[in-house]
Every structure is written in C-alpha cells, then in structure tokens.
Amino acid sequence: LRLHRALRWLQLFLEGLRTGREDSRTSVICTDSYNASLATYHPWVVRKAATVAFCTLPPRNTFLEIMNVGTPEEAVAMLGEALPYICDVYGITQELFAQHKLLDLP
C-alpha cells in the first residue's frame, strides 16, 4: 500500500515535469505532487522535512537532463510515453486494493 501511494506521487510528479514550463521549479512541482498524495499519510514534522528536502532539487530542465534520456524535449517526450503505463498500473492496483478493502490500512 505504501508503494502504491508512492506510485501516485511519482505519477503526479512526472506529469508535472512533463507539462511544466521551462522555467518551472522542480521543488514546487514536487511539493504540489507530495501535498496531493503522500502528505495525507505523514505527520507534520515529516511533511515539513520533505518540503525542505524538495528545495534541494535542481531546476526543471537540469532535472530532465539528469534523467539521461537526451535533451529536455526528449525527456518530456519519453515521459509522455511512460505516463500512460504508470497511470494504468496505479488504476489497476487502486481497484484491487479497493475490492479487498485494503485502502484504509495505516
């Protein structure tokens, strides 16, 4: 379940990277993704520590270059190809967890 929740964060983060402007701050994209997914399950001190850690992320284009896929444009294209698969995996596991009433575990 924790990996499933982390997959949701990853999905949101990568989508934010893919759709963000060139001057978007990766730390903001990451924080927004975290707040929309994992933050719900963490106590205040962990949420604050995570937010501080996100401030160390490089700018969006640098992050995309570090992915070692090619240019930032090529990385964005690769994300566009990969994200549907991530969404499918998340959707399938979400449905399975819901069917078996496992979504409310701590």
Q: Is pLDDT of 32 > 80?
A: yes
Give the pLDDT of residue 105: 81
- Angle, CA 51 vertex, CA 47 and CA 56 arms, to 5°: 150
For the chain, how many structural domains are there in total?
A: 1
Question: What CATH number corresponds to the domain at position 72?
Answer: 1.10.3520.10
| pLDDT above 70: percentage of residues in the chain | 100
DSSP per position, 68-103: TSSSHHHHHHHHHHHHHHHHHHHHHHHHHHHHTT-T
Residue 60 lies inside a defined structural domain of this protein: yes
Determine the structural domain holding residue 46 and report its residue range.
1-100
pLDDT of residue 54: 98
For residue 106, being part of any structural domain is answered with no
The answer to whether the predicted template modeling score (pTM) of the entire model surpasses 0.75 is: yes
Written as six digits, the tokens of 96 are 């399975």
Task: Give the pLDDT of residue 68.
Answer: 93
Amino acid at residue number 103: L
Does residue 38 lie in a domain region? Answer: yes
- Report the pLDDT value the prediction gives residue 106, as an integer from 0 to 100: 74
| Residue 40, pLDDT above cutoff 90 | yes
pLDDT of residue 75: 96
* Residue 7 neighbours by CB distance under 10 Å: 17
* Residue 94, domain member (yes or no): yes
List, as one string, the DSSP characters of 34-51: HHTTGGGGS-HHHHHHHH
Q: Give yes or no for residue 11 having a pLDDT over 80.
A: yes
Tell me whether residue 105 is in a domain. Answer: no
